């Protein structure tokens, strides 16, 4: 697990991102804090969000019920099913040179739902279907070298 000082910095960064109205943090906040469940991105970003809220998000993302539990986890002798590390989500990024075309393909052809897009014109977005989600990211050049 990350050291506590790093986690404190990440919580402060999350507060700054919320205050800066970075739409990418809205989903993290919704997922971790029940009072934000079902709210649109703008509503999440308009709501009060303090450091203790950000700490609760960080704790939840690390599998703890609260920041206090994260700071002082119970002593472990041997890993059990209850204490073993559990990965909850992976969010890969797909880099594309034509964002609009790729978005239409994943949405209209493959049936993915658009969770959000960011930028004007959009250059970043999240798509999902069933239990799968990924980020779509515009890049001017392909990150893959031609063979």
Angstrom distance (rounded) from CA 41 to CA 61: 19
State pLDDT tens for residues 16-64: 999 999 888 998 999 899 999 999 999 999 999 999 999 999 999 888 8
State pLDDT tens for residues 79-102: 555 556 666 677 899 999 999 999
What is the third-level CATH fold of 93-138?
2,3-Dihydroxybiphenyl 1,2-Dioxygenase; domain 1 (3.10.180)
pLDDT at position 71, please? 86
Angstrom distance (rounded) from CA 40 to CA 26: 8
pLDDT at position 2, please? 57
125 alpha carbon, distance to own chain's centre: 12
Tell me how far CA of residue 44 lies from CA of 31, 56, 91, 107, in angstroms: 11, 15, 21, 25
Angstrom distance (rounded) from CA 52 to CA 58: 10
Local confidence band at 109 (pLDDT 50, 70, 90 cut-offs): very high
What are the domain boundaries of the chain? 4-71, 93-138
């Amino acid at each position: 697990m990350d050291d506590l000082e790093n986690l404190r910095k990440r919580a402060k960064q999350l507060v700054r991102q919320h205050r800066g109205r970075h739409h990418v943090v809205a989903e993290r906040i919704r997922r971790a804090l029940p009072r934000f469940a079902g709210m649109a991105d703008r509503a999440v970003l308009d709501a009060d969000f303090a450091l203790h809220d950000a700490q609760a998000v960080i704790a939840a993302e690390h599998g703890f019920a609260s920041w206090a539990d994260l700071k002082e986890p119970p002593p472990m002798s041997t890993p059990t099913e209850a204490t073993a590390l559990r990965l909850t989500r992976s969010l890969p990024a797909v880099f594309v040179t034509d964002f609009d075309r790729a978005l239409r393909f994943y949405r209209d052809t493959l049936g993915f739902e658009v969770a959000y897009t960011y930028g004007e014109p959009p250059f970043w977005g999240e798509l999902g279907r069933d239990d799968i989600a990924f980020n779509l990211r515009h890049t001017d050049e392909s990150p893959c070298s031609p063979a």
